Amino acid sequence: MSKTASRRKRAAKSKSTQKSTDTSTTTDGKNSTVVPPTVKISPPTKFTRKNLRKPTVEEISERAYTLWLLSGRAPDRDEQNWLEAESQLTEEINAIV
């Protein structure tokens, strides 16, 4: 085997074992290696009761107050307004569009 054939074989072998990376020359003449970022892809989220957000007490309180005002400040409807506000907000927050 000639020296040239032997060199080609070694060059081909070293190229096949190297990782594929791009090199580019910067404006100051130096070579820099460009390594692509690693991206981790997670499986799609399954919507269950565990990962759905619940409305906060403040949000429910504000909505219940609005419902109370819209009902003409009807007395003895505190609990009904609260439950209705909680229901409305839960639907709005967790609506899948």
Residue 84 domain-assigned?
A: yes
Residue 9 domain-assigned?
A: no
Q: Residue 87 — very low, low, confident or very high, per pLDDT cuts 50/70/90? A: very high
Residue 63 domain-assigned?
A: yes
64, 65, 71, 69: which is closest to 85 by C-alpha? 64
Averaged confidence pLDDT in the chain: 76
Give the position of tokens 């190297």.
18
Residue 68 domain-assigned?
A: yes
Percentage of the residues of the chain whose pLDDT score is greater than 90: 37
Residue 48 domain-assigned?
A: no
72, 75, 71, 97: which is closest to 85 by C-alpha? 71
pTM attached to this predicted model:
0.48
Number of domains in the chain: 1
Domain ranges, residue 76? 57-93
Do residues 81 and 61 touch, judged by C-beta distance below 8 A?
no
pLDDT average, residue stretch 48-69: 87
Residue 65 domain-assigned?
A: yes
Residue 2 domain-assigned?
A: no
